[in-house]
Amino acid sequence: MFENFDEKYSSVTKLFKAMVEKNDNKVPNSLIFYGPDVFAQYNFAMLLARGANCTGDKTQNCDCQNCRWIKANEHPEVMTVSKINSKSEHDTTKTVISINQMNMIKDKLVISSDYHRFFIFCDAEERPFTKDEEAKYKNFAFLEQNFPKAEKENWVPLGLTKKSFTDLAANSLLKSIEEPPENVTFIFLSENAANIISTVVSRSQVFYIPGNSKQVFEYDFLTEILKNYPKIDVKMAVSLSDFLLKYSEENNKSMSEIIFSIQTYLKELLKQNSGNILLKKKILSDIENLQKANLMLKNSFKDIVAADEIAYILTK
Ligand SMILES: [Zn+2]
């Protein structure tokens, strides 16, 4: 399902692949994808839905019934939820994901299903693509089949905002997000995780999906090794240190550059979680300690000493 992606997505595809390939289904019940490219996020959400439901060989070309349905966006249990998707005819709201839609989902969950159900939350508009959107769309050539066909014009996925996904609507779904029936996954797409109410964020696994900009790629390599941050077991310190040394060698990056990438990554994480006081404290202290490690390097300590120090800072 996740083959043929370029390097920029290697960390997320590795993680998602592991989620769908374990025999005991490991796709979490709530996920948040954030980053600059909602087309990419939508694509990965659909691929996860395929991976979790596929009865074939789980490759992109698989033609099992679930894959066919999802590719045609006709799967009865894979729903895109937006202000213009999955609305009943009687629902007169036009600008928000409505309480009515939340109730519809809750009603659906009462009945059990043979499928792994997916609810993909995003904002959306029916209009032609802008140039920038066109480029993002073309990035995933096979997307064409995956996209919900709008009645007339193109369908443009957009990131959730507090305006389109109100706190009221989000909170009415909390219980379902927290304790869903088996094999149910909610995915929330947004440019910035701060656009999603913290009660949902704290119940979800949050993934950064890179976009096209180069700067963003600079810290993509950290997504996997820091996925448990700030709760990385201190036993992982040695392998973390080894990873950083190896990454530095293989990619011709100095330890100072790596420290800068980690600090940037942590700052981004801070932005996404500004409401979490404990995490904020930990991040700020780690950024400062990393700065000290950087000074050590300037005083010509060896890379290996700096890598150990970084690992120690991030795991304790
Ligand atoms: Zn399949």
Residue 217 domain-assigned? no
**Same-domain check for residues 238 and 151:** no
Cβ atoms of residues 279 and 267 within 8 Å: no
Number of domains in the chain: 2
For residue 200, pLDDT beyond 90: yes
Domain boundary among 166, 189, 212: 212
**Same-domain check for residues 135 and 79:** yes
**Same-domain check for residues 40 and 160:** yes
| Centre of ligand 1 from the C-alpha of residue 58, in Å | 5
pTM of the predicted structure, to 2 decimals:
0.69
User: The dihedral of CA 290, 296, 300, 306: what is its sign?
Assistant: negative
**Same-domain check for residues 284 and 245:** yes
**Same-domain check for residues 296 and 203:** no
| Centre of ligand 1 from the C-alpha of residue 154, in Å | 27
Q: Give the domain range for residue 146.
A: 7-212
| Centre of ligand 1 from the C-alpha of residue 205, in Å | 25
Name which of 222, 225, 295 is nearest 258 in CA terms.
222
Domain boundary among 147, 182, 212: 212
Residue 184 domain-assigned? yes
* Residue 215 confidence class, pLDDT cut points 50, 70, 90: very low
Write the pLDDT tens digit of every residue in 58-110.
988 899 999 999 988 889 999 999 999 999 989 999 999 999 999 999 999 99
Name which of 163, 175, 70, 161 is nearest 115 in CA terms.
70
Domain boundary among 193, 212, 231: 212
Q: In terms of residues, how long is the chain?
A: 316
| Centre of ligand 1 from the C-alpha of residue 116, in Å | 13
Write the pLDDT tens digit of every residue in 161-189.
999 999 999 999 999 999 989 999 999 99
Write the pLDDT tens digit of every residue in 240-271.
999 999 998 888 788 888 888 898 888 888 88
